[in-house]
Amino acid sequence: MSSSSPSPSPLVLLADSDHDTVAAHALLLEAAGYSVLSCTDGKEAMALARSHRPAVFIGDVRLSQASGMDVCRALREHARTDPVLCIAVTGWLTAEGAAEAKTAGFDHILMKPDCQESLMKLLPSAQQKRS
């Protein structure tokens, strides 16, 4: 007799300096069945990543304490947290900033405020990254 229980949804680490954005994205992700860890600064995001090993990091590029780019670089440097799908979500980014985000290791860059549909389309690829 085989058990065909559904595979658990990936753990998502959500970091944004705006409390309302964190709450809105967390609500959306949880309603879709994802487990979500959230915070509002980069230093806490790094600590959560080390202790919980998320499959997905959704981070604002402009976090306090440590930028989203710093968090992404740290995730890429640590084998324990790699592979992780890294998605930058930002309201302001220059062409140079986008290039820096890609160099830091972000897989995708989405622009606020209208990024929720795109975000939800990207999340299933987190399972493939870990396979």
34-81 pLDDT tens trace: 999 999 999 999 999 989 989 999 999 989 999 999 999 988 887 665
Average per-residue pLDDT for the chain: 85
Which amino acid, one-letter code, is at 131? S
Residue-level pLDDT at 128: 56
Give the residue-averaged pLDDT of 2-30. 81
Residue 107, SS3?
coil
Q: Mind giving me the DSSP string for 28-48?
A: HHHHTT-EEEEESBHHHHHHH
All structural domains of the chain, each given as residue ranges with its CATH number in brackets, are: 11-130 (3.40.50.2300)
Helix (H) or strand (E) holding 86: strand 85-90
Asked whether 58 and 15 are in contact (CB, 8 A), the reply is: yes
Residue-level pLDDT at 2: 43
**The two three-digit tokens of residue 114, written as one number:** 């209208």
**The two three-digit tokens of residue 104, written as one number:** 């830091």
Which amino acid, one-letter code, is at 74? A
The Cα 33–Cα 49 span in angstroms is 20
User: Residue 12 — pLDDT band, cuts 50, 70, 90?
Assistant: very high
Residue that is written with structure tokens 């306090």 in the block: 64
Q: What is the pTM of this model?
A: 0.85
Residue-level pLDDT at 4: 46
